[in-house]
């Protein structure tokens, strides 16, 4: 049987699937549901001393959008977008800490880990919140430098407004790291030029891990009304964004190897995505939007799916999978030369491959399409468009 335990910042989790800091972890009641479902850990909704960010949560709105970026009506496709406006934890810190303590007691009984999350508008506030939540008993603290919503609130310097100022973000990181004993992880915004450099700076400032990444800020008009969905700009995430998130996980993994832990989030929908996150270099994988669509039991279903996959493929531990795709990535110049090869017995001469060939390599014959080798560069467009499995292969050209 596969062992799904992971070591994240020297904290043991029974499996790498974690409920991310969002509405599903809004309070103790919600966090307990994540734990009951089988998640290895939960990251509490971000505790804040900002009245504006708490009040914003009372106006929360979100929509699940389809591939046309229209609101889903009952049927949510796999590649949906989560488009939402929200804030941070509803309660003042002193009150929210009761939820943290209650969840921590529950987590001990159910072999789960509770990670704290904080956000302030001043360095002194970040330090105070860090100490408060550490005293409550959490083994890890996430600093939220990625929340997109403060960008829409002039004068509120937290979340994404911090994550886009590397110097200020590192100043906060250093101050909190020096004030607390437990490891800290930094949740970053994807809306910066270089998360590799930023991750390195955060590590030097005292961070043990980075959470890659929070949501983007987007804007979607409703063409029927001529007005924006949910009144204006909003955070955008969901399964469609996975390749963008995995790019950063891959690059941070390649740059720092085991020097910094990586939590992956924004884009993971099911256990298949969890595997891709791990193979790209993530130690743990956070789920949110899919839980909002399918409910808390979704977490347990993905834990079981991951375990089944590992057993079928012969992976005995998570570490055996972690980073293997990232480590195998090639530079453009190192890629092998390839060519398309048509199986005449399977080709039905539909001509679809001709639409994807811009090198005049795919030629349509009377009975089947054929590849003109001298013209083919092995791009694979024909392979992707072919509706018959095995009719076209891409092979290494000797």
In a domain, 1, yes or no: no
Kindly state the tokens that stand for 364.
Answer: 């349509």
Q: What is the dihedral of CA 254, 256, 257, 263, to 10 degrees?
A: -90
pLDDT band at 138 (very low <50, low <70, confident <90, very high): very high
Q: Are 319 and 342 part of one and the same domain? A: no
pLDDT of residue 397: 87
pLDDT of residue 398: 72
Kindly state the tokens that stand for 321.
Answer: 């999978």
Does residue 112 carry a pLDDT above 90?
Answer: yes
3 state SS of 270? coil
pLDDT of residue 62: 95
Q: Cβ distance 14 to 2 under 8 Å?
A: no
Model pLDDT for residues 273-305, shown as the tens digit of each residue = 999 999 999 999 999 999 999 999 999 999 999
Q: Are 43 and 131 part of one and the same domain? A: yes
Mean pLDDT for 238-257 is 97
d(CA 22, CA 347): 49
In a domain, 152, yes or no: yes
Does residue 152 carry a pLDDT above 90?
Answer: no
3 state SS of 19? strand
**Which residue among 302, 328, 354 closes a domain?**
328
pTM of the model: 0.97
Q: What is the domain extent for residue 228? A: 6-328
Distances (CA, A) of 67 to 81, 238, 288, 292: 8, 12, 19, 18
Q: What is the dihedral of CA 65, 20, 230, 164, to 10 degrees?
A: -110
Model pLDDT for residues 21-67, shown as the tens digit of each residue = 999 999 999 999 999 999 999 999 999 999 999 999 999 999 999 99
d(CA 163, CA 165): 5
Kindly state the tokens that stand for 163.
Answer: 């994550």
pLDDT mean across residues, the chain = 97
Model pLDDT for residues 351-395, shown as the tens digit of each residue = 999 999 999 999 999 899 999 999 999 999 999 999 999 999 999
Number of domains in the chain: 2
Q: Are 369 and 282 part of one and the same domain? A: no
HSE of 178, CA atoms in CB hemisphere, 13 A: 10
Residue 126 DSSP label: H
pLDDT band at 98 (very low <50, low <70, confident <90, very high): very high
Does residue 255 carry a pLDDT above 90?
Answer: yes
Q: Are 216 and 91 part of one and the same domain? A: yes
pLDDT band at 154 (very low <50, low <70, confident <90, very high): confident
Which residue has 């399977």 as its token pair? 346
In a domain, 164, yes or no: yes
d(CA 19, CA 42): 5
Q: Are 314 and 354 part of one and the same domain? A: no
Mean pLDDT for 191-202 is 97
- Picking from 341, 233, 261, the residue whose alpha carbon sits closest to that of residue 13 is 261
Mean pLDDT for 117-121 is 98
């Amino acid at each position: 049987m596969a062992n799904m335990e992971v070591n994240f910042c020297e904290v043991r989790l029974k499996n790498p699937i974690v409920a991310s800091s969002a509405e599903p972890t809004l309070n103790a009641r919600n966090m307990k549901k994540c734990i009951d479902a089988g998640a290895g850990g939960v990251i509490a909704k971000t505790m804040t001393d900002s009245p504006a960010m708490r009040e914003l949560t009372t106006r929360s709105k979100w929509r699940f959008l389809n591939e046309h970026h229209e609101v889903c009506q009952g049927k949510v496709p796999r590649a949906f977008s989560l488009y939402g406006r929200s804030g941070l934890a509803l309660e003042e810190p002193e009150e929210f800490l009761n939820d943290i303590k209650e969840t921590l007691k529950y987590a001990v009984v159910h072999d789960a880990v509770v990670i704290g999350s904080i956000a302030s508008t001043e360095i002194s506030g970040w330090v105070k919140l860090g100490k408060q939540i550490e005293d409550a008993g959490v083994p890890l603290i996430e600093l939220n430098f990625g929340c997109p919503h403060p960008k829409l609130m002039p004068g509120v310097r937290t979340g994404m407004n911090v994550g886009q100022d590397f110097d200020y973000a590192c100043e906060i990181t250093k101050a909190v790291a020096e004030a607390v004993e437990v490891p800290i992880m930094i949740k970053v915004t994807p809306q910066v030029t270089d998360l590799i450099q930023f991750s390195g700076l955060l590590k030097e400032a005292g961070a043990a891990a980075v959470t890659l990444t929070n949501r983007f800020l987007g804007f979607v008009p409703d063409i029927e009304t001529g007005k924006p969905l949910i009144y204006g700009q909003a955070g955008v995430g969901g399964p469609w964004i996975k390749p963008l998130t995995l790019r950063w996980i891959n690059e941070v993994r390649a740059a720092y190897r085991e020097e910094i832990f990586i939590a992956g989030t924004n884009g993971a929908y099911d256990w298949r995505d969890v595997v891709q996150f791990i193979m790209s270099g993530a130690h743990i994988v956070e789920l949110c939007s899919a839980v909002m669509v399918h409910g808390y039991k979704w977490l347990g279903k993905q834990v079981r799916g991951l375990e089944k996959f590992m057993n079928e493929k012969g992976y005995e531990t998570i570490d055996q999978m972690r980073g293997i795709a990232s480590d195998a990535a090639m530079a453009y110049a190192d890629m092998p030369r390839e060519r398309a090869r048509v199986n005449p017995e399977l080709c039905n001469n539909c001509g679809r491959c001709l639409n994807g060939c811009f090198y005049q390599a795919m030629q349509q014959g009377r009975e089947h399409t054929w590849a003109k080798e001298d013209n083919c560069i092995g791009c694979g467009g024909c392979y992707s468009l072919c509706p018959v499995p095995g009719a076209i292969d891409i092979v290494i050209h000797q």
